[in-house]
């Protein structure tokens, strides 16, 4: 309860911030874009992770305001980058219940001047629990606008695979749970089949949670080319983006 009130104030008082974590194109050996990740610099409690406060914001309805803020902030940030870099923003399933979500995205693009083709949205399987007609209409409109639609945390939710054919996804993001322990043959088998599935459905694929060179090599050998994880970079503040770009390009 108390944290919920704090969160409302936090937005007004600039305690909420976006960190950025790069996506790596391991084929071309370059950064292909960044994912925006919320952080809360709480005056008394230090940095609070979104896994703590996003669920609170979803329950209280504040997620709408928080989500619009993140979209606008991320687009204004990305328009300053080289034009081959994309920005990826996480959308909560709760935001799809807002009547203004499509307009919010359109406005964030128009006001920042960012091309729609540079904006990617990440959604999770929780989106498909109910109201699939409404969700389909919104995702179809996003697709029509030229956004990239990415299925985050793939394989960890409760949905059936049917949504991959019913909804217009461009990309599948292999969850870090499968990447974490790829010495387990079961996890390799899952990673391999998700990569195969993405090919068969003509979707892109990205793996997240890469922490070691070994994980990177296994994924590369399996045919995965886009990657993200602490091995390349942790999420860092906007001011460190030039540094991340130069560090990653000099390491490779």
Nearer to ligand G, 56 or 136 (CB): 56
Among the residue ranges 9-17, 58-66, 101-109, 149-157, the one whose residues contact Mn ion (CB under 5 A): 149-157
Given the rule CB under 5 A, which residues bind Na ion? 90, 122, 152
For residue 209, which of 238, 246, 235 has the smallest C-alpha distance? 235
Q: Closest separation between CB of residue 208 and Mn ion, Å?
A: 5
Cα 152 to the center of its chain, rounded Å: 7
User: How far does the chain reach from its first CA to its final CA, in angstroms?
Assistant: 47
- HSE at residue 19, side-chain half, CA atoms within 13 A, is 14
Q: How far apart are CA 192 and CA 212, in angstroms?
A: 18
How many CB atoms lie under 10 A from the CB of residue 154?
Answer: 26
Q: Closest separation between CB of residue 38 and ligand G, Å?
A: 4
Nearer to ligand G, 14 or 202 (CB): 14
Beta strand extents in the chain (DSSP E only): 16-25, 30-42, 46-48, 86-90, 119-123, 148-154, 171-174, 204-207, 226-227, 236-237
Q: Closest separation between CB of residue 24 and Mn ion, Å?
A: 15
Q: How far apart are CA 2 and CA 60, in angstroms?
A: 12
Nearer to Na ion, 90 or 112 (CB): 90
Strands 16-25 and 236-237 come out as antiparallel
Among 17, 25, 153, 222, binds Mn ion (CB under 5 A): 153
Nearer to Na ion, 16 or 209 (CB): 209
Q: How far apart are CA 59 and CA 63, in angstroms?
A: 8
Nearer to ligand G, 136 or 177 (CB): 177
Answer for the pair 132, 166: CB distance below 8 angstroms, yes or no: yes
Q: Closest separation between CB of residue 35 and ligand G, Å?
A: 7
Q: Closest separation between CB of residue 220 and ligand G, Å?
A: 16
Nearer to Mn ion, 10 or 71 (CB): 71
The Cα diameter of the chain in Å comes to: 50
226 binds Mn ion (CB under 5 A): no
Q: Closest separation between CB of residue 140 and Na ion, Å?
A: 21
Among 64, 104, 125, 152, binds Mn ion (CB under 5 A): 152
Question: What's the CA angle centered on 145, arms 140 and 148, to 5 degrees?
Answer: 75
How many CB atoms lie under 10 A from the CB of residue 10?
Answer: 21
17 binds Mn ion (CB under 5 A): no
Among the residue ranges 62-70, 91-99, 134-142, 147-155, the one whose residues contact Mn ion (CB under 5 A): 147-155
Given the rule CB under 6 A, which residues bind ligand G? 21, 37-38, 49-51, 54, 70, 90-92, 152-153, 176, 208-211, 229-230, 235
Q: Which residues bind Mn ion (CB under 5 A)?
A: 152-153
């Amino acid at each position: 309860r108390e944290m919920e009130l704090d969160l409302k104030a936090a937005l007004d008082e600039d305690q909420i911030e976006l960190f950025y974590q790069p996506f790596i194109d391991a084929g071309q050996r370059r950064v292909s874009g960044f994912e925006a990740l919320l952080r809360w610099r709480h005056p008394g409690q230090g940095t609070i992770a979104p896994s703590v406060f996003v669920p609170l914001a979803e329950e209280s309805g504040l997620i709408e305001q928080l989500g619009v803020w993140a979209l606008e902030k991320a687009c204004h940030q990305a328009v300053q980058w080289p034009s081959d870099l994309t920005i990826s923003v996480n959308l909560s399933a709760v935001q799809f219940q807002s009547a203004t979500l499509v307009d919010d995205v359109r406005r964030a693009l128009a006001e920042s001047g960012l091309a729609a083709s540079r904006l990617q949205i990440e959604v999770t399987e929780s989106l498909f629990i109910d109201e699939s007609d409404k969700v389909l209409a919104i995702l179809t409109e996003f697709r029509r606008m030229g956004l990239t639609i990415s299925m985050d945390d793939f394989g960890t939710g409760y949905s059936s695979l049917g949504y991959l054919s019913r909804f217009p996804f461009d990309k599948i993001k292999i969850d870090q749970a499968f990447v974490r322990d790829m010495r387990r043959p079961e996890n390799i088998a899952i990673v391999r089949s998700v990569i195969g599935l993405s090919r068969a459905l003509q979707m892109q694929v990205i793996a997240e949670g890469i922490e070691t060179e070994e994980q990177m090599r296994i994924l590369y050998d399996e045919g995965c080319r886009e990657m993200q994880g602490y091995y390349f970079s942790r999420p860092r503040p906007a001011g460190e983006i030039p540094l991340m770009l130069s560090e990653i390009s000099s390491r490779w």
